[in-house]
């Protein structure tokens, strides 16, 4: 039996636990989501055999995201957002010395896997999703998933059965009579997430909507889905239909977890991952684009006079650089009296826009800010291009003094987290096709 060594790496102020198993030619990183404990998963023989098989042809990287398993806890008012999970994933790959890995995401872990693959195509050799979903609740344009009131009653049930053997018969019904399996899985759930943590996380994922990122995934993608009660097969079909060129495999089983699957499922994954080793040109990536602009700059410049205005602009630029760096963003350029920056997570971009507004107020400068998440082209030098950049610029023009305006895409991606929004209605954006639903992000 494999007994991997656990190591820790630090992200923000939290310790993240990870393991590296096997020494195959391909890196595979498993993203388990909140049901994750890299210590006790090895005590669950049905799951351990899946990992052992994967590690027989790869270098398998496992980790527990913040708030789960043996990584540091999170306070309950701070959710382990999928943006954070993506950050944890990237830090673990860095710590494990992995330049490029196939990302294997299961259930809620699939959301972070999708965001990672779209944002870092150069670090993702393939994307494999097991019972993933892009959205868990129904919407007018998304009949798949749970009606919100159904989901609430489901939470009331979880409250009583999380981590107990009764839950196993719902998760993997075909194994309900297998006492050893049931015990091992219940224990794995308990050691992954306490009931309070599990409920808080499930409530958060209720609101997440990642559908808009699917077309930006350019890495070879395999979507596997079973006829399980929790996610349903349609959620998988939807993902496969919206990721360009994704391959869909329907698994004839009512069970949710990989542990309940025959070992041949790993062979399916191996064939796909080892067959997709061509390098994808990383010239198109998913990013959140932030534009800012000084309000009334012409009048201000005239009032202050050239010298004083130039000094003020220099302070303004310094503040921009500091705040963008603080949120791990990339400052693309400063444009006269504004800037263009990109971020790998929309939450960080929003925090940066707000922090900038506050910091510049002390210089008596008011800005407007616009945000959009979409695919950008990486060009010569540090320049970027693409329609998403134009959209972000147009979104900014809809912002009033001191406002941060974003597209619906941004709002959907950070749903359930600390941000609150005011609906700004549907607009046409100059030179951009379609109608755009915009939102003002409230100051925290």
Give me the residues paired with residue 19 across strands: 6, 62
Per CB under 8 A, does 74 bind other proteins? yes
From 108-116, 162-170, 305-313, 347-355, span contacting other proteins (CB under 8 A): 162-170
Burial 405-443 (b: 16+ CB within 10 A, else e): bbbbbbbbbbbbbebebeebeebebeebeeebebbbbee
Binding to other proteins by residue 13, rule CB under 8 A? Answer: yes
CA-nearest of 418, 420, 422, 416 to 439 is 422
Residue 191 touches other proteins, criterion: CB under 8 A? yes
Q: Does 43 help bind other proteins (rule: CB under 8 A)?
A: yes
Among 35, 36, 40, 136, binds other proteins (CB under 8 A): 40
Query: Among candidates 282, 210, 221, 269, which has minimal Cα distance to 248?
Result: 221
C-beta of 165: minimal distance to other proteins in Å? 8
279 binds other proteins (CB under 8 A): no
Q: How far apart are CA 357 and CA 339, in angstroms?
A: 13
CA distance 157 to 172: 16
Q: Does 3 bind other proteins (CB under 8 A)?
A: yes
Q: What is the CA radius of gyration of the chain?
A: 23
User: Does 137 interact with other proteins (rule: CB under 8 A)?
Assistant: no
Is residue 75 close enough to count as binding other proteins by CB under 8 A?
Answer: yes
Asked if residues 256 and 231 have their Cβ atoms less than 8 Å apart, the reply is: yes
* Binding test (CB under 8 A) with other proteins, winner from 97, 148, 196, 400: 196
Per CB under 8 A, contacts with other proteins among 284-343 are none
Binding span for other proteins by CB under 8 A among 14-22, 283-291, 357-365, 379-387: 14-22
Distance of closest approach, residue 41 Cβ to other proteins, in angstroms = 11
From the CB of 349, what's the least distance to other proteins, in Å? 26
Question: Which residue carries 């055999």 as its tokens?
Answer: 49
Site for other proteins in 76-135 (CB under 8 A): 76
Binding status of residue 70 toward other proteins by CB under 8 A: yes
Of 97, 153, 157, 183, the residue at the interface with other proteins (CB under 8 A) is 183
Q: Which stretch binds other proteins (CB under 8 A): 9-17, 86-94, 116-124, 240-248?
A: 9-17
Query: Which residues fall within 8 angstroms of residue 364, CB to CB, at 6 or more apart?
Result: none
CB 224 within 8 A of CB 251: yes
Answer for which of 98, 138, 169, 190 binds other proteins (CB under 8 A) is 190
Stretch that binds other proteins, among 55-63, 194-202, 315-323, 381-389 (CB under 8 A): 194-202
> What b/e readout covers 299-323, taking b as 16+ CB neighbours within 10 angstroms?
ebbeeeeeeebeebbeebeebbeeb
- The smaller minimum CB distance to other proteins, of residues 187 and 330, is found at 187
* 195 contacts other proteins (rule: CB under 8 A): yes
Specify the residue for token string 């310790």. 15
**Residue among 98, 194, 315, 319 that touches other proteins (CB under 8 A):** 194
Q: Which of 72, 166, 178, 234 binds other proteins (CB under 8 A)?
A: 72
Q: How far is the CB of 3 from other proteins (least distance, A)?
A: 7
CB of 172 to other proteins, least distance (A): 19
Q: Which residues bind other proteins (CB under 8 A)?
A: 3, 6, 8, 13-15, 17, 37, 39-40, 43, 67, 70-76, 163-165, 183, 186-187, 190-191, 194-197
């Amino acid at each position: 039996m494999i007994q991997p060594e656990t190591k820790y790496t630090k992200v923000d102020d939290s310790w993240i636990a990870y393991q590296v198993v096997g020494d195959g030619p391909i890196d595979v990183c498993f993203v388990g989501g909140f049901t994750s404990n890299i210590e006790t998963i090895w005590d669950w023989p049905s799951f351990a055999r899946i990992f052992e098989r994967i590690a027989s042809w790869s270098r398998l990287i496992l980790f527990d995201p913040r708030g789960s398993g043996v990584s540091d806890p999170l306070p309950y008012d701070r959710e382990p957002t999928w943006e954070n999970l993506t950050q944890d994933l990237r830090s673990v790959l860095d710590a494990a010395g992995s330049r490029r890995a196939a990302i294997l995401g299961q259930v809620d872990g699939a959301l972070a896997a999708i965001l990672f693959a779209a944002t870092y195509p150069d670090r993702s050799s393939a994307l494999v999703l097991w019972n993933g979903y892009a959205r868990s609740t129904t919407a007018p344009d998304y009949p798949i998933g749970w009606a919100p009131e159904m989901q609430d009653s489901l939470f009331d049930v979880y409250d009583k059965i999380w981590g107990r053997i009764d839950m196993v018969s719902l998760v993997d019904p075909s194994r309900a009579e297998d006492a050893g399996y049931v015990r091992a899985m219940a224990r794995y759930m308990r050691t992954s997430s306490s009931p309070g943590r599990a409920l808080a996380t499930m409530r958060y994922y209720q609101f997440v909507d990642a559908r808009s990122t699917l077309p930006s995934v350019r890495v070879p993608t395999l979507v596997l889905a079973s006829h399980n009660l929790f996610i349903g097969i349609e959620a998988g079909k939807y993902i496969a239909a919206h990721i360009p060129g994704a391959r869909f495999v329907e698994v004839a089983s009512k069970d949710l977890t990989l542990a309940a699957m025959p070992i041949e499922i790993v062979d399916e994954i191996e064939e796909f991952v080892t067959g997709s080793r061509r390098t994808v040109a990383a010239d198109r990536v998913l990013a959140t684009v932030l534009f800012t602009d000084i309000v009334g700059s012409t009048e201000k410049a005239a009032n202050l006079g050239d010298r004083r205005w130039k000094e003020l602009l220099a302070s303004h630029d310094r503040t921009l650089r500091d705040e963008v760096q603080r949120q791990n963003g990339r400052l693309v350029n400063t444009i006269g009296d504004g800037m263009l920056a990109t971020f790998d997570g929309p939450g960080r971009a929003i925090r940066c826009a707000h922090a900038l507004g506050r910091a510049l107020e002390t210089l008596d400068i008011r800005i407007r800010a616009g945000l959009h998440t979409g695919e950008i082209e990486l060009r010569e030098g540090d320049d970027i291009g693409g329609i998403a950049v134009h959209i972000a610029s147009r979104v900014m023009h809809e912002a009033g003094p001191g406002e941060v305006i974003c597209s619906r895409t941004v709002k959907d991606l950070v749903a359930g987290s600390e941000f609150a929004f005011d609906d700004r209605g549907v607009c046409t954006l100059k030179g951009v096709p379609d109608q755009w639903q915009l939102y003002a992000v409230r100051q925290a």
